[in-house]
Chain A
Amino acid sequence: GQQVMQIPQYQHVQEGEDFTTYCNSSTTLSNIQWYKQRPGGHPVFLIQLVKSGEVKKQKRLTFQFGEAKKNSSLHITATQTTDVGTYFCAGPQGAQKLVFGQGTRLTINP
Chain B
Amino acid sequence: DAGVIQSPRHEVTEMGQEVTLRCKPISGHDYLFWYRQTMMRGLELLIYFNNNVPIDDSGMPEDRFSAKMPNASFSTLKIQPSEPRDSAVYFCASSFLGNQPQHFGDGTRLSIL
Binding site for B on A (CB under 8 A): 30-31, 33, 41-45, 48, 88, 90, 92-98, 100, 102-103
Contacts and interface: CB of A to CB of B under 8 A. Distances in A.
Contact of B99 (A43, A44, A94, A103): A94
Interface residues of B, number: 22
Interface of B: 31, 33, 42-43, 45, 48, 50, 55-56, 91, 93, 97-107
B3 to A, nearest CB: 9
19 contacts: A30-B99, A33-B101, A42-B105, A43-B91, A43-B93, A45-B101, A45-B102, A45-B103, A95-B98, A96-B31, A96-B50, A96-B98, A97-B33, A97-B45, A97-B48, A97-B56, A98-B99, A100-B45, A102-B42
A94 B106 CA distance: 26
B99 A97 contact: yes
Instruction: Summarize B's interface: helix, strand, loop or mixed.
Output: strand
Contacts of B99: 30-31, 92-98
A48 B104 contact: no
B33 A95 contact: no
Contacts of A98: 98-99, 102
B26 to A, nearest CB: 12
A44 B45 CA distance: 16
B97 A95 contact: yes
B17 to A, nearest CB: 25
Contacts of A100: 42-43, 45
Nearest to A91: B99
